[in-house]
Structure 1
Amino acid sequence: MVKLICTLGDHRDDVNCCAFSSSYLATCSLDKTVRLYHLSDFNELPYSPLKGHTYAVHCCCFSSLGHILASCSTDGNTILWNTENGLKLAVLEHPCRSPVRICRFSPDSTYVVSGAADGSVNVWNVQSFKVCRSGSVKDGSLVACAFAPNGSFFVTGSSCGDLTVWDDKMRCLYNEKVHDLGVTCCDFSLQPLSGNVEGVKYIQMASCGQDSTIKIWLISFADPTGFDMKYKCTLSGHAAPVLACAFSYDGQTLVSGSVDKTVRIFETRTWSILHTLTQHTRYVTTCAFAPDMPLFATGSMDKCVNIWQLEPNQHFTGSALREEPKISVDNWSEEEVSVWLSRHGLQDLVEIFKRHNIDGKELLSLTKESLVGDLKIESLGLRGKVLRKIEELRIESACLGIPDEFLCPITRELMKEPVIAADGYSYEKEAMENWIIKERRTSPMTNLPLQTLILTPNRSLKMAINRWLETQPKYNEKQSP
């Protein structure tokens, strides 16, 4: 579940950005102000709002320890504020007085990067308040920026649609146009992907744009072997330009906001949509997660900031996830089939499937013969992989009609021997026993310690499952060997 816990309506104009530290929430607006709130109760601090900009404030961000807040504006200034008292520490003036659209601290807070409307990138030393490095992109305004978790490089996005990757010496490592009509935001997952090889780390980055899509990128980097950035998949749930995206602190959730006035929550294992939030009445311009807690904020042109809580039974804890029912594969569009192909490393087949108008229903009906004869897929290995993934989809589709309470939270499969654990939840006996054997003495659902490891058979639930199965001949047929 996602719960709206607070709405802040103090700004007098569009909210452009929001950011969290471990203690505070900062918001900024077209009304030229920056506002600060306590994270404990969301009461505004006594010295808020911060008034130092003479034009709209586009972005705000905290240093790693939260002692400094940076904000940037159309007035060409990036202001550093002391969060303990709201006083200015420095005013960093853009060398050409160009409007500054984005600012970000490096992970160690030694530097703050600012990107401007003239395409320039300036790296400021936070101690001396001087520009130590600078660069520029060929075209467009800089409107997005994100640092890699280890600080070895950062990414900028432009209004022309380019993503540019810079190393710590301002050398360009990568540049490509990735979003038609412009990039709007980008963010890194703080958690590396599993399956890293020694010396190489893999991280995910999300970018979003005016083309109404979110794109997921896989980045590998290792010293001294270099840097590599590859496209992974496209998320196309929004019906209008996507203005913001942000990963949760644990990397297991991605939130986005759009011109379609919605906020969408994706889980990053399968990139399925968990929730669509519709409480904002105008464009959603910003979203941000709090560090180390399941809280996130969304801001909008409706002048409001909404604070949301991801409740434990909706969030990943270990390998368990409670989800809303997924959209049936039968109802997938051609675009959703393309996303599915990309997610499973089958990007080379996207154009072939699009040419043949393969939607969800057609996907499930594909056979070895149709892959060879109709789609002309010659590679035996590629055909085998497609058929295996389609079979997995068929099994998943069979599970969609099952009442959620009949599915084990760990395996997401129909329970045969349900047992009740000390956390009050029911699990498949074998799955929970394996969970405990691996020295996990916490609840898969709440992540809290289990007071006892005793598992009690849930006979009433087993009877209910058996009664349901008697009414589901189609399900039984699919499970037959």
Structure 2
Amino acid sequence: MATLIHTLADHSDDINYCAFSSSCLATCSLDKTIRVYSLNNFTELPYSPLKGHTYAVHCCCFSPSGHILASCSTDGTTMIWDTQDGRMLAVLEQPSSSPVRVCRFSPDSTYLVSGAADGSVVLWNVQSLKLYRSGNVKDGSLVACAFSPNGNFFVTGSSCGDLTIWDDKMKCLCNEKAHDLGVTCCDISSQPVSAGGEHGFRYFQMASCGQDNQIKLWLILCADFLGVELKYKCTLNGHSAPVLACAFSHDGQMLVSGSVDKCVIIYETSTGHTLHTLSQHTRYVTTCAFAPDTPLLATGSMDKTVNIWQFDLKQPCAGNIVGNASKVAVDDWSEDDVSAWLCAQDLADFVGLFKMNNIDGKELLNLTKESLIDELKIESLGLRRKVLQKIEELRMKTISVPITIPDEFLCPITREPMKDPVIAADGYSYEKEAIENWINSKRRSSPMTNLPLPSPMLIPNRTLKMAISRWLETQQKHV
């Protein structure tokens, strides 16, 4: 069971990434800052926020020891910070000055990888803070990266959909077309799987996700005499829109994903079954991360918040039923759906009582303070209030079902339906006022690709404007 225990709302813009160390949580945002919190009580550390980047911060990561923190940005730099006092230790400039989209430490802290929008990959020596090796992916922007647990290789994902495996000398070991519309994230489980035998086969589990709405599981075969081979295992379904983030739990038994559909899904990796579906974020879920030493999960979103979840591994009662129940109108919930909902709301102690009174979805929505006292005999005022509060939240969700607006009708900057769409020099359509403000603020890079805009010219997209108008008229007829 996953319980929401805390919400961080200190950033003033979209959350792009979050990362755990054994004692801290770091978050970064479009607001150009990195914030660092203690895991003891989720209070912000005295030196937070970290300021230094001049544009959006796309990614942050702790070294394995947790002593240093790396962050990378549209400004073309990767910055190294001391987590004891927040001092900036170094500014590593991408050789091409291209916006840096992802950064990762190797498991032994020897190297730091930074990947950029122009496809460049740089391997930095952490000790000397000097460039060690560099390379380029074949096509597209580099948007994802993950190290193997033994540090012998790392994987990068690109916006053209490729997964590439590199050794620590920046030699390309393997390249695979993984997602038709582009990779968005990848992660390798920290728990290798050994196949034994005299040849010493070892498998590493990897997950990748993309703009095609899919999460794919892979096996990376490492054999002493065969080198490295990437094998497709299966596809995990559940999301109805592009999947922006994925991460394994420390023991490798769970995989979490976040999506444009605003949902977070937690899978059991051995079976592919959905364990939990979390839908508290109100906009795209852009990042998710498990803590290494505690049963905590962090999820970040374009709604400017980071949610902290705690797992009760002894009570997996929500299971698939929670995911299924969330897709069914509450009025049509069965008694089992109500039981799953109780578990998800940290009210598992009431499952037996509600089942004994045959409470289904319709009965649940009709419960009152009086019925909780007189019929269900819930004597505790605090518990009654908690139950009523959760039911009221459920009622509010059932009053009006939000209309799913086609993603192509939303401005990539404001994430609101466009009224006056225009086509920019990068080929993407934006709300005219939003892209004009973007350009006038001296940001000469594309909001979608982070590559330089060759021209500030904007062309009215009349076809898209007509399509949005027709769609809005259709929705009004159904109201």
- Please indicate, yes or no, whether the TM-score normalized by the shorter chain is above 0.5: yes
Counterpart amino acid of residue 217 in structure 2: I
Contact in 2 for aligned 1:249/1:293 (Cα 8 Å)? no
Q: 1:187 aligned to 2:214?
A: no
Q: For residue 221 of structure 1, what is the aligned residue in structure 2?
A: 222
Q: For residue 274 of structure 1, what is the aligned residue in structure 2?
A: 275
Distance 1:327 1:91, change over 3 A: closer
Q: For residue 125 of structure 1, what is the aligned residue in structure 2?
A: 125
Q: For residue 162 of structure 2, what is the aligned residue in structure 1?
A: 162
Q: 1:298 aligned to 2:283?
A: no
Q: What is the distance in 2 between the residues matched to 1:216 and 1:37?
A: 32
Q: For residue 174 of structure 1, what is the aligned residue in structure 2?
A: 174
Q: For residue 479 of structure 1, what is the aligned residue in structure 2?
A: none
Distance 1:28 1:326, change over 3 A: closer
Q: What is the distance in 2 between the residues matched to 1:286 and 1:88?
A: 24
The alpha carbon displacement at 1:327 in A equals: 8.6
Contact in 2 for aligned 1:272/1:326 (Cα 8 Å)? no
Counterpart amino acid of residue 68 in structure 1: I
Q: What is the distance in 2 between the residues matched to 1:65 and 1:74?
A: 27
Residues 403-427 of structure 1 show CA distances to partners (whole Å, capped at 9, x for unaligned) of 99xxxxxxxxxxxxxxxxxxxxxxx
Q: What is the distance in 2 between the residues matched to 1:141 and 1:98?
A: 10
Q: What is the distance in 1 between the residues matched to 2:50 and 2:265?
A: 31
Q: How big is the alpha-carbon RMSD for the aligned residues of Structure 1 and Structure 2? A: 2.0
The alpha carbon displacement at 1:210 in A equals: 0.2
Q: For residue 152 of structure 2, what is the aligned residue in structure 1?
A: 152
Residues 62-82 of structure 1 show CA distances to partners (whole Å, capped at 9, x for unaligned) of 000000000000000100000
Counterpart amino acid of residue 231 in structure 1: Y
Q: What is the distance in 1 between the residues matched to 2:54 and 2:204?
A: 38
Q: For residue 12 of structure 1, what is the aligned residue in structure 2?
A: 12
Q: What is the distance in 2 between the residues matched to 1:209 and 1:86?
A: 34
Contact in 2 for aligned 1:205/1:218 (Cα 8 Å)? yes
Q: What is the distance in 2 between the residues matched to 1:149 and 1:111?
A: 13
Q: For residue 205 of structure 1, what is the aligned residue in structure 2?
A: 206
Q: What is the distance in 2 between the residues matched to 1:139 and 1:194?
A: 33
Residues 255-306 of structure 1 show CA distances to partners (whole Å, capped at 9, x for unaligned) of 0000000000101121011111110000000000100221110000000000
Q: For residue 438 of structure 1, what is the aligned residue in structure 2?
A: none
Distance 1:272 1:196, change over 3 A: farther
Q: For residue 95 of structure 2, what is the aligned residue in structure 1?
A: 95
5 Å-filtered alignment, 1:77-476, equals: 77-193=77-193, 195-198=195-198, 199-314=200-315, 323-325=319-321
The alpha carbon displacement at 1:225 in A equals: 3.1
Q: 1:58 aligned to 2:58?
A: yes
Structure 2: 5+ residue runs without aligned partners? 328-335, 341-479
Q: What is the distance in 2 between the residues matched to 1:187 and 1:150?
A: 14
Q: What is the distance in 2 between the residues matched to 1:284 and 1:323?
A: 21
Q: What is the distance in 2 between the residues matched to 1:327 and 1:50?
A: 38
Counterpart amino acid of residue 181 in structure 1: L
Contact in 2 for aligned 1:187/1:246 (Cα 8 Å)? yes
Contact in 2 for aligned 1:141/1:158 (Cα 8 Å)? yes
Residues 52-96 of structure 1 show CA distances to partners (whole Å, capped at 9, x for unaligned) of 100000000000000000000000010000000000110001112
Counterpart amino acid of residue 191 in structure 1: Q
Q: What is the distance in 2 between the residues matched to 1:257 and 1:327?
A: 14
Distance 1:31 1:286, change over 3 A: same
The alpha carbon displacement at 1:326 in A equals: 9.1
Q: For residue 365 of structure 1, what is the aligned residue in structure 2?
A: none
Q: For residue 42 of structure 2, what is the aligned residue in structure 1?
A: 42
Q: What is the DSSP-based 3-state SS (H/G/I as helix, E as strand, rest coil) of the residue aligned with 1:313?
A: coil
Counterpart amino acid of residue 279 in structure 1: Q
Counterpart amino acid of residue 278 in structure 1: S
Q: What is the distance in 2 between the residues matched to 1:97 and 1:38?
A: 33
Counterpart amino acid of residue 147 in structure 1: F
5 Å-filtered alignment, 1:62-77, equals: 62-77=62-77
Which moves more between the two structures, 195-204 or 250-259? 195-204
**TM-score, normalization: structure 1?**
0.66
Residues 332-384 of structure 1 show CA distances to partners (whole Å, capped at 9, x for unaligned) of xxxxxxxxxxxxxxxxxxxxxxxxxxxxxxxxxxxxxxxxxxxxxxxxxxxxx
Which moves more between the two structures, 191-200 or 14-23? 191-200
Q: For residue 420 of structure 1, what is the aligned residue in structure 2?
A: none
The alpha carbon displacement at 1:190 in A equals: 1.0
Contact in 1 for aligned 2:276/2:319 (Cα 8 Å)? no
Contact in 2 for aligned 1:313/1:322 (Cα 8 Å)? no
Q: What is the distance in 2 between the residues matched to 1:194 and 1:255?
A: 23
The alpha carbon displacement at 1:139 in A equals: 1.1
Q: What is the distance in 2 between the residues matched to 1:142 and 1:196?
A: 34
Contact in 1 for aligned 2:194/2:201 (Cα 8 Å)? no
Q: What is the distance in 1 between the residues matched to 2:127 and 2:186?
A: 27
Q: What is the DSSP-based 3-state SS (H/G/I as helix, E as strand, rest coil) of the residue aligned with 2:314?
A: helix
Identity %, equivalent residues = 72
Residues 164-216 of structure 1 show CA distances to partners (whole Å, capped at 9, x for unaligned) of 10011111111121101110000011112364445111111000000000000
Structure 1: 5+ residue runs without aligned partners? 316-320, 332-399, 405-481
Q: What is the DSSP-based 3-state SS (H/G/I as helix, E as strand, rest coil) of the residue aligned with 2:191?
A: coil
Contact in 1 for aligned 2:289/2:298 (Cα 8 Å)? yes
Counterpart amino acid of residue 52 in structure 1: G
